[in-house]
Structure 1
């Protein structure tokens, strides 16, 4: 199976520019080239890019994905380090969710305090703080 960068992108839902970026930063190895100097990708690159995409879809940073890829290379090692990365990421997601929940509550309160009328009496503008005059 040899596919072009465009085919690889369509198969994985990844923009061609993103694939090239992943190659530049070392997440994807540089693929072999055809006689016409086109990149030629195989099943291994497809699997690796799919792994990267899934990691990114789950919100892992590029550094975390890089670490997960490195750790996954030795299939016999204990997965404690992988578990630790995932747990730290989950903690960060939960912190962000708590922050967003508080933000939603505050915004709902500000919006519900608005009774309409003149902007000079707007509770939303007032809640944002003093305005420059």
Structure 2
């Protein structure tokens, strides 16, 4: 809907005003994300795969991220599968999707949002922040 309003405003009031509207929408969205999500929003991914070693090694080698692994059983199929857990920055989600898809085209990938991550590769754990 925003794009329709900006397009209509460009036709009626001129394209310079429409350009300012686009910039204002972008800045407003970025500020809203920062206020609602905070400065250190991270993404967590759970990956269910038949090839946990292959997928994990691809993530480690191509992204430099650690991966935690465990075994799970699909309750619909009753098949054992590998379950992987990895934490990445918001800007790395696209890369993670690509890496997982290239390693296992049938993997099941769930991306979640985390408030903060502490430890190696993220913020250092300090007593003051853990309230």
TM range (shorter): under 0.3
Higher percent of residues as strand: 2
**Whose relative contact order is higher, 1 or 2, with alpha carbons under 8 Å and at least 6 apart?**
2
Q: Under a length normalisation based on structure 1, what TM-score does the superposition of the two structures give?
A: 0.26
Who wins on radius of gyration, i.e. which is larger? 1
Higher percent of residues as helix: 1
Q: Under a length normalisation based on structure 2, what TM-score does the superposition of the two structures give?
A: 0.27
